[in-house]
Amino acid sequence: MDKVDNRRIISRRKAQSVKRKTKNLKLYALRFNFTLYVLCFALNCSSAIIFLSSNLSYAEEPFIRGFLQTNYSARITGVKLPGAKRQELMLGEERGRLDGSYYPSNACVGFDVKADLFHDWVEGDWGVTLREGYMDCLMDKFDVRIGRQIVTWGVGDLLFINDVFPKDWEALYLGRPLEYLKQGVDAGKLSLYTDLASAEFIVIPHFTPDNLPSAGRFFFFDPYPNIMNREVEKPKTTFGNTEYALRVYMSLAGADLSAYAYKGFYRDPAQRADNFTSPTTTSYFYPELAVYGASLQKNVLGGVVSAEYGYYDSMNDRNGKNPGIENSQSKFLIGYQKAFQNDMTIGLQYYGELMSQYKEYNANLPPAFYRKKELHQYITLRVTKLLKYQTVKLSLFTFYSPDEEDFFITPEASINVTDNMLLVLGTNIFVGVKDNTTFGQQHKNSNLYALARYSF
């Protein structure tokens, strides 16, 4: 009996020891995640102060640039948006940018800050946003960047497969400069360089969703328009919700090759409902996502061939039976771009999304939802022409979806009046057969936009 009791006591102590160790490991993980998040936040808040107060005894002076701009966009369809504050005026803002960097020649640490101050006529308010604010530690074989940063991966032109970082689609559809399509993430990035291959590893402790067209400026399709109160649940900032992204890249036989991996969340929200056929309540959340992919770029026949693939593993709906969550997909594109004489460039792309578990998707789709095809496709065209010693730029970019039968067309003209002054005029034209497709739902939002920017 004593031996049995001793064994039980020893077994219980071992179990308690394992629990303590597991608990300690979780605590260490949470502390690491919390430390990284706080470090990113502190850098975002203090980078500007460090930049402005840096010791000027270094060999290099801080570098400051920026711009002042006004940007307007007006709906040209003549349709009134219910509840809109400015009706035809979709965008009306004045914006100022300060961009400062400081990389002393005798130190491995540098800082970069990009901050905007803006006034929004549509919403009637002022705001300040930190576009980027990070610290770099630059070494021979590796770099470390911590803070808010904009990350761009992949080879597509306005088509994103392995670029899983947040986008601002409202900015694109309103006619803001293209740089505002990308949003910054608070992250830590480690870059490694070797003779064989290089790599980037990114840790993102705080989730940032895509910014989608808002109800105060856009018409868009809503399968349940009569349900007013809806909650949005974002992933909490915990160690288990930390996002990880890896890119390994190299040059081989004249081609640029990259491999990608990502573990995190969809940037677009999924939908919950008490009953998808006839719901009384709905809410939004961001499902878990893993992405694995690769890309290639190579010079061919005087132009550049681009190819990219990514498998989207919908971790919360692998069987494809939940209609509120995207099914797993294989996404791919191939493109070709070539520069011609007289400063003209033409680029073509074919893009596809092949849905997994399509039978389950069809069987469980509610009547109010748009029924997607198993293969969703886009064909894009970009034409750019430079004139007047490259001071005038004429461009056209078009999306066309053969399966959804809709278009997105963006012609634009810009002129550099001086080295510092830029004027832009363009349109965003949406055309579609149906009101519930990607671009068809936007057909009442076609707009004319104008921009004037003075850089210094």
The boundaries of the domain holding residue 22 are 2-455
Q: Please tell me the predicted confidence (pLDDT) of residue 31.
A: 39
Q: How many CB atoms lie within 10 A of CB 41?
A: 15
Residue 8 pLDDT more than 80? no
Average pLDDT over residues 274-299: 96
Report pLDDT for 303. Answer: 97
Is pLDDT at 38 greater than 50 in this prediction? no
Rounded mean pLDDT of the chain? 89
pLDDT band at 224 (very low <50, low <70, confident <90, very high): very high
Domain count, the chain: 1
169-185 pLDDT, tens digit per residue, is 999 999 999 999 999 99
pLDDT reading at 148 higher than 90: yes
How confident is the model over 69-118, as pLDDT tens digits?
999 999 999 999 998 888 889 999 999 999 999 999 888 999 999 999 99
Examine the pLDDT at 7 and tell me if it is beyond 50: no
CATH for 355: 2.40.160.10
Note the pLDDT of residue 272. 94
pLDDT tens-digit readout, 318-331: 999 999 999 999 99
Say whether 45 sits in a helix, a strand or coil.
helix
pTM: 0.85
State the Cα–Cα distance between residues 13 and 17, nearest whole angstrom.
Answer: 6
pLDDT computed for residue 39 by the predictor = 42
Torsion of CA 169, 283, 324, 400, to 10 degrees: -20
Residue-level pLDDT at 60: 61
Cα dihedral 449, 338, 378, 314 sign? negative
How far apart are alpha carbons 217 and 294 in whole angstroms? 37
What's the CA gap between 165 and 312, in Å, rounded?
14
How would residue 348 be classed by pLDDT, with cut points 50, 70 and 90?
very high
The token duo for 125 is: 């308010």
Q: Pick the residue with more confidence: 452 or 50?
A: 452
In the predicted structure, residue 59 carries a pLDDT above the cut 90: no
